[in-house]
């Protein structure tokens, strides 16, 4: 009997030692799994501190800030290098070597900054599941995960992305942060110079994704409906963040096609910094030939073969937007195909 008890005691001692050395679950502090820093692509601290709509901040929003997506992250990639590493993104041939990771980070940074400057703004990251090779991952969700991974939500938005991306705006490479455009701040009633310098804390709780858009027109159209889904009303003002060369298309074509009033629309243009391979004249010419020209004769992008083909190619998972159900007063606009502009009395906001 004493031998049996001795064996049992020895086994119990081994078990206790194993628990002490190797940990007994998350936070155990052992050699594996303990309380060390995360190695995944997101920190988790922002999620714990800023759950969506904390304090009903998102539902109370009055203004809309849209960051238009341009790519999808590669499944399983560590996005802590996503501000500079092309391997983190599923890039098309024309996007490679053109500073797109830096542009994505800079666009996100500007969107977060604008939302931080206006506590009454909802930030919408817009872009659908556009890359069949990555699996059903959206541009919008990829951008949100990048912001998490790079710590963009913290005080002043400082994170390990800053060195790579901070020079992308306000230093001759864009119009945000005091550049040639007011970055949309002037139209936001609560935005002040002091507000722009405050912490970015709280923006994550006012950020959502829009995961069906396949082009710039849909980025704007669908994000307005997404705003209504969250708040129950339409925004008072809209700011869009994207490349500088897309300004004319958004202002003169897309906003006009929605009959959105010009004095309630602003555009924040941001380009990658020098040395990334971005060529503004080349990009502007591609914009003129491949996007602006087709939309000139087809403002809703629904009957020109080239625009129809683009939308089909960017919808490899055959997603159908739900917005006619969630924004029924936008149904006429969502279904409108032109070629003329929709009558102003058929849009649910004071029209241009």
Q: Which residues pair with 124 in a beta bridge?
A: 66, 208
pLDDT at 339 exceeding the cut of 70: yes
Helix, strand, or coil (residue 253): helix
Q: How many domains does the chain have?
A: 1
For 69-96, b/e burial (b = at least 16 CB within 10 A) is: bbbbbbeebbbbbbbeebebbbbeeebe
CB of 128 closer than 8 Å to CB of 314 = yes
Alpha carbon 264 to its chain centroid, in Å, reads 21
In a domain, 15, yes or no: no
User: Rounded distance, CA 131 to CA 141, Å?
Assistant: 13
Helices (H) and strands (E) in the chain, counts: 14, 7
- pLDDT of res. 177: 45
| Domain-located, residue 22 | no
d(CA 120, CA 136): 32
**Average of per-residue pLDDT across 163-168:** 39
Residue 208 three-state SS: strand
Distance, in Å, from the CA atom of 343 to the CA atom of 185, rounded to the nearest integer, reads: 30
Distance CA 296, CA 284 (A): 16
Task: Please give the sequence-ordered ranges of beta strands (E in DSSP) within the chain, or none if there are none.
Answer: 63-68, 72-73, 89-90, 121-126, 207-210, 237-242, 265-269
Using pLDDT thresholds of 50, 70 and 90, give the confidence band for residue 156. low
Query: How far apart are the C-alpha atoms of 20 and 11, rounded to whole Å?
Result: 14
Residue listed under structure tokens 């507000």 = 195
- Residue 351 in domain: no
Average pLDDT over residues 37-41: 36
Decide if pLDDT at 44 tops 70.
Answer: no
Q: Are 70 and 104 in contact (CB under 8 A)?
A: yes
Range of the domain at 241: 68-346
Residues 6+ positions from 27 with CB-CB distance below 8 Å: 34, 35
- The answer to whether residue 53 sits within a structural domain is no
Token pair 């959206």 is at which residue? Answer: 138
310-338 per-position pLDDT tens digit: 999 999 999 999 999 999 999 999 999 99
Q: Label residue 157 left, alpha or beta by phi (over 0 means left) and psi (-120 to 50 means alpha).
A: left
Instruction: Considering only CA atoms, give the Rg of the chain.
Output: 24
Q: Which residue, 192, 116, 125, is CA-closest to 156?
A: 116
Whether 122 maps to a domain, the answer reads yes
More confident position, 213 or 32:
213
CA 132, CA 275: separation in Å to the nearest integer? 30
Q: Are the beta carbons of 91 and 101 closer than 8 angstroms?
A: no
The residue to which tokens 């092309």 are assigned:
86
- Does residue 309 fall inside a structural domain? yes
Is 80 exceeded by the pLDDT of residue 198? no
44 falls within a domain: no
The answer to whether residue 34 sits within a structural domain is no
pTM: 0.79
Position 267 scores a pLDDT of 98
């Amino acid at each position: 009997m004493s031998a049996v008890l001795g064996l049992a005691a020895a086994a119990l001692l081994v078990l206790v030692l194993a628990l002490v050395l190797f940990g007994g679950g998350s936070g155990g502090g052992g050699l594996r799994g303990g309380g060390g820093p995360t190695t995944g692509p997101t920190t988790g601290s922002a999620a714990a501190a800023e759950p969506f709509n904390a304090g009903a901040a998102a539902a109370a929003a009055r203004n809309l800030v849209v960051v238009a997506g341009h790519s999808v992250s590669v499944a399983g990639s560590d996005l802590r290098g996503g501000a500079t590493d092309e391997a983190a993104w599923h890039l098309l041939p024309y996007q490679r070597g053109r500073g797109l990771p830096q542009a994505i980070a800079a666009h996100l940074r500007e969107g977060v900054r604008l939302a931080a400057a206006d506590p009454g703004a909802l930030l919408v990251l817009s872009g659908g599941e556009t890359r069949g090779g990555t699996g059903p991952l959206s541009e919008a969700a990829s951008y949100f995960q990048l912001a998490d991974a790079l710590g963009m939500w913290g005080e002043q938005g400082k994170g390990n992305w800053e060195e790579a991306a901070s020079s992308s705006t306000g230093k001759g490479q864009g119009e945000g942060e005091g550049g040639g455009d007011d970055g949309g701040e002037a139209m936001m009633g609560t935005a002040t110079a002091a507000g722009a310098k405050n912490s970015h804390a709280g923006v994550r709780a006012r950020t959502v994704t829009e995961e069906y858009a396949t082009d710039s027109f849909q980025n704007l159209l669908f994000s307005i409906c997404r705003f209504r889904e969250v708040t129950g009303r339409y925004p008072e003002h809209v700011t869009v963040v994207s490349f500088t060369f897309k300004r004319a298309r958004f202002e003169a074509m897309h906003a006009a096609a929605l009959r959105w009033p010009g004095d309630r629309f602003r555009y924040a243009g941001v380009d990658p910094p020098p040395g990334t391979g971005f060529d503004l004249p080349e990009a502007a010419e591609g914009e003129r030939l491949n996007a602006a020209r087709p939309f000139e004769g087809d403002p809703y992008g629904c009957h020109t073969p080239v625009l129809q083909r683009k939308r089909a190619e960017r919808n490899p998972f055959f997603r159908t937007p739900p917005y006619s159900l969630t924004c029924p007063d936008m149904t006429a606009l969502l279904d409108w195909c032109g070629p003329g502009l929709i009558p102003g009395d058929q849009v649910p906001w004071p029209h241009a």
